[in-house]
Amino acid sequence: MKLKSGLLIIIAIITLFSSSCSNNSENLSTSTSSNEITILSNYETLSVTYTGYEESYRFVSKSAPVLWMPDDSSLKVCDLNDTLVEVIFAGYTTYDTTWLFVVFRTYDTPTNNRGWIRESNTEKYTKENQKLIKDIIIPKGTLGVDKNENYVESYDQFGFIEKQEEDKVLIMFAGGKEAWYYKKDIKYPPLD
C-alpha cells in the first residue's frame, strides 16, 4: 500500500512539474509496474526500480542537493545540511545508484519539502550525530527564556536552531516566530 501511494505521489509530482515548466505535453509519458516506474522526459528514459528500505530517518551532514528526479542532471529542489530527512521510499536507477525519496521540515513557505537524494549523501541517524541536527522539538510545557517575556509552550513544536549562546538556543518556527530556550529543554527526533 505504501509503495503504491509513493508511486502515485511521484507521478503527480512529475506531472505537475512537467506541465508547469513546459507547454509541450508530448514530452512526458509514464508507465508503471508493481515496483518500477519509467519516465520519458525530453525524449530520455529514466527507469527507477523501487526497493524496501529499513530506516525511517537518515542524517544529511554535509551540504547535499535534493532533486526533482533521481538523476544528477535533474533540477534541484534545495540543498540540505545538518538535517534529518524522513525516508518515504527508496529505489535505484539503471546506473545502480540508490536514491531516497525524502521529506524534510521547512520553515519558510511556500517551499517544496520533498524530493530525491542520493543515499551516499546521507548517513545513518545515530546517537552520535543526533546532537548535530538543527531541526528540533520544543515539548509542550517548555518555558521560553526571553529577555522581554517568559512563556510556556502549549503544544509540541518543531523548530530550527538558528543560534547558540552558552546554555541557550534561538529557535525559529514556521511563520517567522523566534524564541530562546535552554539547551537542556530541547528534544531531538527519536532514533529508529
pLDDT at residue 148, rounded to an integer: 62
Enumerate residue ranges in the chain where pLDDT < 70: 1-44, 95, 109-110, 147-150
Amino acid occupying residue 10: I
E strand segments, 1-156: 28-32, 36-41, 44-51, 57-60, 64-67, 76-80, 83-93, 98-103, 114-118, 123-124, 135-138
Give the Cα separation of 71 and 117 in Å (integer): 9
pLDDT at residue 131, rounded to an integer: 86
pLDDT at residue 109, rounded to an integer: 66
Residues 6+ apart with CB under 8 A from 34: none
Amino acid occupying residue 169: V
In tens, the pLDDT along 53-99 reads 999 999 999 899 999 999 888 899 989 988 899 999 999 887 678 99
pLDDT at residue 190, rounded to an integer: 85
pLDDT at residue 178, rounded to an integer: 87
- Residue indicated by cell numbers 530556550: 181
pLDDT at residue 16, rounded to an integer: 45
- Residue indicated by cell numbers 532533486: 67
pLDDT at residue 27, rounded to an integer: 37
